[in-house]
Chains A and B, each alone.
Chain A
Amino acid sequence: MAINSPTFAIQPEQILLLKAALFPAQEALSYWHQWKKERGLDQFIPTNINLLPSLFDPLDGDSQRLMPLVYRNLEKSGDPLVVHLRGIYRYTWMSNQRFLLKMSQVIRVLHQNEIETIALKGIPLSLLYYGDMGVRLMYDLDVLVPTAQAEQALQALQAPPLSLQSSPFETKHRHTLHAMHLWDANGVDVDLHWNLLYEHSYAKADVPFWQARQPVKLTDRQSTYALSPTHQLYHNLVHGYDWSETPAIRWIADSYVIYTNPALSIDWHALLDLARQYNVNYPVQQALKLLESEFRLTLPSDVKERLKSMTLSTAETTYFSLVRKRSSNKAIKAIRYVQKNWLAYRLFRKGKSELSMSRWMYRQVRLRLDWNKRDLPF
């Protein structure tokens, strides 16, 4: 049975694994033992050629991606199975170094073109919060540029020396998107964002995030910016919610390493102000409740009170429930798509975007009709 949070529907085994990855080592080990028992892994043959596949293959993607963090947390525990995760840690570290190099090249080109940048997601999280490039497996790298410079950034990255490629589908629909995929000759995926969140993709949507950005050093010679800790946490909570129909759990680890860091101070009221300002109260409230109940988030009493008394509009709760709903029935899918985008306009864009409702809906329908022509190589 899933943990008592229908919104996130996180499975008990995922909770155990997260605790094994995140909690102090001695406690984590007991959660790891429980997790292994649940999965029938408390006994195994170390030389079995299928040991790693039997461990990884039945797992959901996000649980697989937690394994390097489990390894690092329990590497000195003497647990016989943890030893076998060493290779996946090593691989993750090496693979992420490749992304770090590519990120520094991308940042250099953008800066040479006088385009400001904020590194998003995996790289700043690894550098600033995990403090380890081997614990969070990345499949891509993400960089945010000012909305007004999106076209310029796209041109700069597609020109030599980087010569990144793009998808004709995404290029055609880029005015409807908040980001697009670019990739190099080796297939390294560089996601260029011109807005932080899909819901708020319009000019000036990201002003608070740019204003509070903080420096991050990528290499000895290359620096850029990252979101402030409060904004990083906000991004984790909102992005974690709507990333896919399958509840992601990475956002929990990404958030835990921020709010448990004693050197960081989170401005909880500012975070709730953002949730209200951007109409994302629902995912923020749900996420914080889960972190409080399972992952030792201790909120100040006035913040708890404010969270409890947060009023959620019907439009917001309907929108976020639609984000997660899936159907194989084409008619239902079409109705939900229109309803979701109509609500998205009302909640996130009305009065902020220059686009009229009819124009917005037209673009969304065009995007949907073209969806089968989506031509990404990943």
Chain B
Amino acid sequence: MPTNQYCISPAIVSEHFDDEVIIVNMSRGHYYSLRGSAAVVWQGLEAGTSKDGLLAYLAGTYATNEAELSKPLNSFLDQLVDEELVLEGTPSQTSPLPVRTLSKPFTPPLLEIYTDMASLLTLDPIHDVSPVEGWPIKK
């Protein structure tokens, strides 16, 4: 029977800023970036929202029907499980999500993975990086 609920792995730490969520799994040395719809899904997972709830939340946020969202959401959740960022199971607590509508069109959630954090941190965050994106995107 497919899983409908997830909890955030205790092995990771994350932070929200602007429209991005950054996550680090120190034991694996991996760093992840979630933007756009991926950050919206993560916010839902942190609030303990079920998969059905996430579908409804995305549909409301992007004014799109759930049928269009189901496949990319499932695929993204599978990826989060594979990377051990979330675990299948009942979340320890739930909280209400903010109601919001984004004018941007829905694009499938994407998990950006950086697998060599130690080497990323050797990049000079001022001189070696893109002036637009900043660290960790190289010039």
Contacts and interface: CB of A to CB of B under 8 A. Distances in A.
Given A49-B139, A52-B127, A57-B126, A98 B134 contact: no
Nearest to B25: A97
B1 interface: no
Interface residues of A, number: 32
A43 B99 CA distance: 37
Contact of B22 (A49, A56, A75, A90): A90
A341 interface: no
B131 A88 contact: no
A53 B135 contact: no
Given A56-B126, A97-B24, A97-B26, A86 B17 contact: yes
Contacts of B132: 46-47, 84
Contact of A53 (B10, B18, B127): B127
B interface SS class: loop
Contact of B26 (A51, A93, A101, A133): A101
Contacts of B125: 87-88, 91
Contact of B131 (A48, A89, A90, A134): A48
B28 to A, nearest CB: 12
Contacts of B135: 87-88, 90-91
A interface SS class: helix
Nearest to A87: B134
B13 A97 contact: yes
Give chain B's interface residue range (CB within 8 Å of chain A). 20 to 34
Contacts of A133: 13, 15
B47 interface: no
Interface string A334-363: 000000000000000000000000000000
Given A91-B136, A97-B24, A186 B129 contact: no
A89 B16 CA distance: 11
Contact of B17 (A47, A57, A72, A101): A72
Interface string B37-73: 0000000000000000000000000000000000000
Given A57-B126, A75-B18, A90-B22, A49 B131 contact: yes
Contacts of A132: 15
Given A90-B22, A91-B136, A101-B26, A52 B17 contact: no
